[in-house]
């Protein structure tokens, strides 16, 4: 096992992602052309709420840091402050992101997000009532490390380096051509940006929304008594989160934000980071 993650589950998802990447390598543009619908309500909803699994997981991690505070530990108190700041930051991020997307779905998406986050935190708070503070801290820090690592890899390295144009930008920009995922860099990027194309239009590879959605798989590692009593529940959470991430990936293709290869690589990156983090945090596995 990779900590709390079953190797068989990882292998299944890895095979599916490799197949998707292989298909996307040959038919990325054709698939996106067939599915692309800039007015899709499903696509717009995913654009607004697709990062909910990440927000949910990060919020729970923050609450767990607060719960794990010990009166005799200054370090745990600082981590509790971090947990509070994480939730305040997520609140602001969610509001700003929703306003940026716009449309009639803002109110529904915001209400859905807040209701699910509050409900999930209450449930987890109850499930972890007998859990040792150190266990809560270890899981929460593991989540935050994976979150920061994928953000740096995607936003600081991969997206700027690849500069792959999004499908929805290609469709409305004369002369801008499709760029395969294995081509690194776009020499015409700055010329198009100078001509009025938004800079975000060259951030197709890899999918941040899908990567964030895949962070939801880490909920399967919650050090809850209910999961230890019946380890099969971890697999249910893991696969439920995987299905949600797949639905987010589909929505990103439909709205023209990403190609199949983009979402496959975004998912694969976070899955690899999660396995590495779980292996380090739980070297003897979780039974």
Q: Which residues pair with 2 in a beta bridge?
A: 5
Range of the domain at 36: 7-281
Domain presence at residue 2: no
Domain presence at residue 32: yes
Q: Which residues pair with 5 in a beta bridge?
A: 2
pLDDT in tens, 35-94: 999 989 899 888 877 888 888 999 999 999 998 888 888 888 999 999 999 999 888 877
Token pair belonging to 94: 């969610």
pLDDT in tens, 120-174: 889 888 888 888 888 899 999 999 999 999 999 999 999 999 999 999 999 999 8
What pLDDT score was predicted for residue 103?
Answer: 59
Domain presence at residue 245: yes
Q: Which is nearest to 232 in space by CA: 223, 220, 242, 243?
A: 220
Domain presence at residue 251: yes
CA dist 173 → 72, 195, 196 (Å): 61, 10, 10
pLDDT in tens, 164-191: 999 999 999 988 999 999 999 999 999 9
Q: Are 213 and 150 spatial neighbours (Cβ–Cβ below 8 Å)?
A: no
Say what the pTM is: 0.91
CA distance 66 to 76: 8
Instruction: Domain count for the chain, please give it.
Output: 1
Q: Are 41 and 48 spatial neighbours (Cβ–Cβ below 8 Å)?
A: no
Domain presence at residue 141: yes
CA dist 73 → 60, 67, 68, 141, 239 (Å): 21, 13, 10, 17, 37
Domain presence at residue 1: no
């Amino acid at each position: 096992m990779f900590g709390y993650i079953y190797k068989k589950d990882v292998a299944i998802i890895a095979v599916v992602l490799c197949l998707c990447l292989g298909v996307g390598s040959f038919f990325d543009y054709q698939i996106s052309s067939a599915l692309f619908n800039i007015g899709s309500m499903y696509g717009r909803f995913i654009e607004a709420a697709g990062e909910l699994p990440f927000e949910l997981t990060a919020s729970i991690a923050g609450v767990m840091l607060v719960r794990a505070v010990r009166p005799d530990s200054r370090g745990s108190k600082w981590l509790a402050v971090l947990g509070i700041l994480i939730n305040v930051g997520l609140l602001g991020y969610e509001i700003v992101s929703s306003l940026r997307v716009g449309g009639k779905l803002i109110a529904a998406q915001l209400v859905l997000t807040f209701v699910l986050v509050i409900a999930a935190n209450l449930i987890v708070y109850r499930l972890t009532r007998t859990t040792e503070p150190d266990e809560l801290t270890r899981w929460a820090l593991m989540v935050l490390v994976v979150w920061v690592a994928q953000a740096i890899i995607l936003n600081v390295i991969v997206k700027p380096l690849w500069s792959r144009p999004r499908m929805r930008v290609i469709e409305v920009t004369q002369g801008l051509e499709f760029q395969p995922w294995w081509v690194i860099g776009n020499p015409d990027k700055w010329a198009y940006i100078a001509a009025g194309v938004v800079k975000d239009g060259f951030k197709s590879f890899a999918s941040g929304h899908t990567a964030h959605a895949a962070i939801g798989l880490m909920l399967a590692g919650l050090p809850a008594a209910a999961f230890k009593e019946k380890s099969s529940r971890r697999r249910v959470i893991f696969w439920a989160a995987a299905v949600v991430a797949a639905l987010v990936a589909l929505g990103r293709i439909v709205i023209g934000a990403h190609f199949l290869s983009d979402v496959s690589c975004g998912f694969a990156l976070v899955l690899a980071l999660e396995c590495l983090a779980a292996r380090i945090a739980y070297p003897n596995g979780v039974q």
